[in-house]
Amino acid sequence: MVVLELLLQGFYTALDPLNLAWLLGGSLLGTVLGMLPGLGPSTGMALLLPAVLSLRPDTGLIAMAAIYYGAMFGGSRSSILLNIPGDRAAVASCLDGYPMALNGQAEAALAISAIASFIGGLIAAGTFVLVALPVARFSLRFGPPESFCLMVFALAATAAVSREVFLRGMISVLLGLMLATVGLDFQTGIPRFTFGSAALQLGIHFAVVIIGIYGISEILVNLEKVDQDLPKPAQVHIGRIRISLAQWKRSIGPIFRQSPIGILVGVFPGTGGLAAALTAYDNEKTRSRHPEEFGKGAIEGLAAPEAANNACSVGAMIPMMTLGVPGSGTATVMLGALLMMGLEPGPALFGQHPAVAWGVIASLFLGHIVCLVINLPLAGLLVKGLYMPQKVLYPFILALAFIGVYSINFSLADCWLLAGVGFAGYLMKKFRVPTAPFILASVLGASMESSFRQSLVLSDGSLGIFFRSAISNVLLIAAFLSLARPFLSDWRTRKKQGKSIDVPIE
Amino acid sequence: MRPNALVGFTAVFIGVAYGTMASGLRGHPSGNQPVSLFPIGLGFLMAVLGLFQLVLEARKGRLNLEGTPPVVLPASSLRPVLGTAGFCLFYVLALERLGFILSTAVFLGGLLFLVNGPRAWKTNAVLTLLFSLGAWALFTKVFHLYLP
Contact list in B for residue A430 (CB cut-off 8 A) is 71, 73
CA distance A70 to A117: 10
Q: CB–CB of A171 and B76 under 8 A? A: no
B90 has pLDDT over 70: yes
**pLDDT value of residue A287:** 86
A506 has pLDDT over 60: no
CB A24 within 8 A of CB A311: no
Pick B132 or A226 by higher pLDDT: B132
**Dihedral angle sign, alpha carbons of residues A287, A288, A290, A295:** negative
Q: Which amino acid is at B148?
A: P
- Percent helix, strand and coil across chain B, each to the nearest 5: 75, 0, 25
Whether the pTM exceeds 0.95: the reply is no
Residues A376-397 have pLDDT tens digits of 887 777 777 777 777 888 899 9
Q: How confident is the model at residue B147 (pLDDT cuts 50, 70, 90)?
A: confident
Residue extents of the structural domains in chain B:
1-72, 76-148
DSSP assignment of A84-143, as one string?
S-SSGGGHHHHHHHHHHHHTT-HHHHHHHHHHHHHHHHHHHHHHHHHHHHHHHHHGGG--
Q: Does A102 touch chain B (CB under 8 A)?
A: no
Q: How confident is the model at residue A51 (pLDDT cuts 50, 70, 90)?
A: confident
CA distance A81 to A94: 9
Q: Which of A188, A403, A412 sits opposite B96 (nearest CB)?
A: A412
Which of A121, A180, A438, A155 is CA-nearest to residue A269?
A155
CB A39 within 8 A of CB A398: no
Q: How confident is the model at residue B93 (pLDDT cuts 50, 70, 90)?
A: very high
CA distance A234 to A106: 8
Residues B98-133 have pLDDT tens digits of 999 999 999 999 999 988 888 888 999 999 999 999
CA distance A205 to chain B (A): 17
Dihedral pair phi/psi, residue A191, rounded to 5°: -70, 135
**pLDDT value of residue A499:** 55
CA distance B64 to chain A (A): 17
Residue extents of the structural domains in chain A:
2-234+245-497
CB A256 within 8 A of CB A119: yes
CA distance B84 to chain A (A): 8
Least reliable range by pLDDT among A192-206, A379-393, A468-482, B24-38: B24-38
B51 has pLDDT over 80: yes
Q: What is the mean pLDDT of chain A?
A: 87
A444: number of Cβ within 10 Å: 29
Q: Does A15 touch chain B (CB under 8 A)?
A: no
Q: CB–CB of B46 and A410 under 8 A? A: no
Distance of CA B119 to the CA centre of its chain: 31
Which of A243, A346, A344 is CA-nearest to residue A303?
A243
This complex has an ipTM of 0.90
CA distance A106 to chain B (A): 31
Q: Does A413 touch chain B (CB under 8 A)?
A: no
Residues A263-310 have pLDDT tens digits of 998 888 877 788 889 899 998 988 888 888 888 888 999 999 999 999
Q: CB–CB of B32 and A453 under 8 A? A: no
Pick A38 or A421 by higher pLDDT: A421
**b/e map A93-122, b = 16+ CB within 10 Å:** bbbbbbbbbbeebbbbbbbbbbbbbbbbbb
For residues B72-81, average pLDDT: 76
Residues A406-428 have pLDDT tens digits of 888 888 999 999 999 999 999 99
Q: Give the A window 362-391 contacts with B, CB below 8 Å.
A: 389, 391
A442: number of Cβ within 10 Å: 29
For residues A454-481, average pLDDT: 91
Which of A116, A154, A99 is CA-nearest to residue A345?
A154
A502 has pLDDT over 70: no
CA distance A215 to A464: 42
Pick the residue of A52, A164, A403, A487 with the most B CBs within 10 A to test the interface with B by mutation: A403
Q: CB–CB of A181 and B42 under 8 A? A: yes
Pick the residue of A54, A171, A190 with the most B CBs within 10 A to test the interface with B by mutation: A171
Q: Does A185 touch chain B (CB under 8 A)?
A: yes
Q: Which residues pair with A183 in a beta bridge?
A: A192
Q: Which of A168, A178, A395 sits opposite B111 (nearest CB)?
A: A395
Q: CB–CB of A399 and B35 under 8 A? A: no
**Dihedral angle sign, alpha carbons of residues B81, B82, B87, B92:** positive
Report how far apart the first and last C-alpha atoms of chain B are (Å, whole number): 45
